[in-house]
C-alpha cells in the first residue's frame, strides 16, 4: 500500500525537507503538500501559460498543450536541444510572481544538505520544470493514461546520460490550476518492474498501461487542488482522471545520485 505524508500550508519548510528525506530513503512513497503556493501566484502562472507564445501541442502520443519540453521517447541529444530553445519561455511562466518549483528545490537541498542541480548531458542543462494542460479524451476516463516514470529513464535510449545512475526517481507535480475532485491524481498500488513493463508492452516508455491489467488493482485518488504540490515515487503506476475544468500542472523529475547530489529534468 502506498505510504503517504500530508503537509498543510506553505510555511512548514522543515516538515517538507524531512518528508523529502524519507522519500529519497524509500521510507515514504508520496508527499502531498496542501497549499504550497498562494492563489495569486497560481493565477499569475496560469495566466502566463495561457498567453505564452510557446504554448504548443505535444508531438507524441500524449495529447496536451505544453510550454517547455519532455524527455519522453526522445534521445538525450534531442531533448537537450529543445531545452536550450525553451528555457526563456519556461522562465516567462513566472513573470511577475514566484517560482514554486525552484522554492521546493531550494528547501529540499537545504534540508538534506545536498547540492541540487539540473541534469547534464554534454554541455547542456535540463529544464527545471515544464507546464502542461492535458487535453480531454471523451472516450476515456483519464486525462492522462496510467503510466510509470521509470521505464522511460532506465532504457538503452538514455545510455550515457546521468539520469540512469539515480537511485530513486521522484515525480514533482505542482498544480497551478486544478479543481478538487476533478483531474485527480490516481496512484495504483502497483510498482514498475521489468516484467510488468514487458507484460504491459511499455518497455522504454512506461505509457500507457492497459486498463485490463489494472482493473483489479487497488488505487488511491488524490483530490489535488490549485496550489498543491505532490512528490511521488515515479515507480508507482499513476494517471490523471477526467476534468471538466481547465487544469494546468508544472511537472519535473528529481533523482539522487550515489555521490549525494540531486538532479532534476523534465
Q: For 4-21, what is each residue's pLDDT tens digit?
A: 999 986 556 788 888 988
Helix (H, G, I), strand (E, B) or coil at 106: helix
What is the SS3 string spanning 187-256?
EEEEECCHHHHHHHCCCCCCCCCCHHHHCCCCEEEECCCCCCEEEEECCEEEEEECCCCCCEEEEEEEEE
Measured CA to CA, the distance from residue 117 to residue 239 in angstroms comes to: 27
Cα dihedral value 4, 221, 217, 248, nearest 10:
-100
Give backbone dihedrals phi and psi of 84, rounded to 5 degrees, phi first: -60, -40
SS3 content of the chain, % helix, strand, coil (to 5): 30, 30, 40
Q: For 26-85, what is each residue's pLDDT tens digit?
A: 999 999 999 999 999 999 999 999 999 999 998 777 888 999 999 999 999 999 999 999
- Once rounded to an integer, what is the mean pLDDT over residues 248-258? 97
Does residue 65 contact residue 55 with C-beta atoms inside 8 Å? yes
Task: State what percent of residues in the chain have pLDDT above 90.
Answer: 84
The DSSP 8-state label assigned to residue 95 in this structure reads T
pTM of the predicted protein model? 0.96
Does residue 225 contact residue 180 with C-beta atoms inside 8 Å? yes
The candidate with the shortest Cα–Cα distance to 102, out of 113, 88, 86, 118, is 118
Amino acid at each position: 500500500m502506498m505510504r503517504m505524508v500530508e503537509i498543510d500550508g506553505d510555511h512548514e519548510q522543515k516538515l517538507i525537507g524531512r518528508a523529502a528525506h524519507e522519500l529519497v530513503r524509500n521510507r515514504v512513497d508520496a508527499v502531498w503538500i496542501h497549499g504550497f503556493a498562494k492563489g495569486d501566484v497560481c493565477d499569475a502562472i496560469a495566466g502566463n501559460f495561457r498567453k505564452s507564445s510557446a504554448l504548443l501541442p505535444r508531438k507524441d502520443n500524449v495529447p496536451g498543450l505544453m510550454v517547455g519540453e519532455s524527455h519522453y521517447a526522445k534521445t538525450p541529444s534531442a531533448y537537450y536541444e529543445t531545452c536550450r530553445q525553451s528555457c526563456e519561455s519556461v522562465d516567462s511562466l513566472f513573470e511577475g510572481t514566484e517560482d514554486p518549483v525552484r522554492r521546493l528545490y531550494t528547501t529540499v537541498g537545504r534540508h538534506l544538505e545536498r547540492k541540487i542541480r539540473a541534469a547534464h548531458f554534454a554541455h547542456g542543462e535540463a529544464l527545471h520544470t515544464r507546464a502542461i494542460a492535458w487535453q480531454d479524451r471523451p472516450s476515456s476516463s483519464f486525462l492522462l493514461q496510467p503510466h510509470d516514470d521509470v521505464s522511460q529513464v532506465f532504457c538503452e535510449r538514455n545510455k550515457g546520460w546521468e539520469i540512469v545512475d539515480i537511485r530513486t526517481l521522484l515525480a514533482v507535480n505542482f498544480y497551478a490550476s486544478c479543481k478538487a475532485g476533478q483531474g485527480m491524481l490516481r496512484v495504483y498500488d502497483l510498482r514498475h518492474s521489468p516484467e510488468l513493463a514487458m507484460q504491459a508492452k511499455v518497455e522504454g516508455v512506461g505509457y500507457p498501461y492497459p486498463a485490463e491489467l489494472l482493473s483489479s488493482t487497488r488505487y488511491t485518488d488524490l483530490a489535488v487542488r490549485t496550489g498543491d504540490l505532490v512528490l511521488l515515487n515515479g515507480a508507482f503506476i499513476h494517471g490523471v482522471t477526467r476534468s471538466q475544468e481547465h487544469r494546468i500542472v508544472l511537472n519535473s523529475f528529481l533523482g539522487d545520485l550515489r555521490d549525494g547530489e540531486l538532479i532534476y529534468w523534465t
